[in-house]
């Protein structure tokens, strides 16, 4: 069974204070690992897809990295508008299966 564990559950940062969110996963062959951002009352918003260990992707203040067992979402000099819940999900390479298994998320609060 595919499993995704995110830590910490909640993180409070001061504006400009860089940090990282962790996503540990167990999957029988990884097709892709996804990061999403979810604001209150809205649906998850796609951020990144990572396909293989060693891969990195960046978008503004966010950088996602991938190893064989975990992924990190690094936030550099965050701003209050980065406050949201960040979700990690995996898609297994299992035949034609396309479902995602999500972690429980990290709720990030950036204080001005």
Q: Which is nearer to another protein, 78 or 103 (CB)?
A: 103
For the CA atoms of the chain, what is the radius of gyration?
A: 14
Measuring CA to CA, which residue among 33, 106, 108 is closest to residue 70?
33
Residue span 11-50 as binding mask against another protein, x where in contact by CB under 8 A, dash where not: --------------------xx-x-x-----xxxxx--x-
Of the candidate residues 21, 105, 106, 110, the single one contacting another protein (CB under 8 A): 105
Q: Considering beta carbons, is residue 72 or 102 the nearer one to another protein?
A: 102
51 binds another protein (CB under 8 A): yes
CB of 26 to another protein, least distance (A): 16
Closest distance to another protein from the beta carbon of 72 (Å): 19
As a dihedral over the C-alpha atoms of residue 87, residue 93, residue 96, residue 100, rounded to 10 degrees, the angle is -10
The CB-of-31 to another protein minimum distance in angstroms stands at 4
96 scored as a contact of another protein (CB under 8 A)? yes
The site that binds another protein (CB under 8 A) totals a number of residues, namely 23
């Amino acid at each position: 069974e595919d499993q995704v564990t995110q830590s910490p559950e909640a993180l409070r940062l001061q504006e400009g204070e860089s940090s990282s969110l962790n996503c540990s996963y167990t999957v029988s062959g990884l097709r892709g690992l996804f990061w999403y951002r979810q604001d209150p009352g809205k649906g998850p918003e796609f951020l990144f897809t990572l396909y293989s260990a060693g891969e990195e992707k960046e978008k503004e203040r966010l950088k996602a990295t991938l190893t064989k067992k975990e992924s990190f979402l690094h936030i550099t000099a965050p701003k209050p508008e980065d406050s949201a819940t960040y979700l990690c999900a995996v898609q297994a390479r299992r035949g034609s299966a396309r479902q995602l298994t999500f972690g429980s998320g990290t709720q990030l609060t950036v204080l001005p």
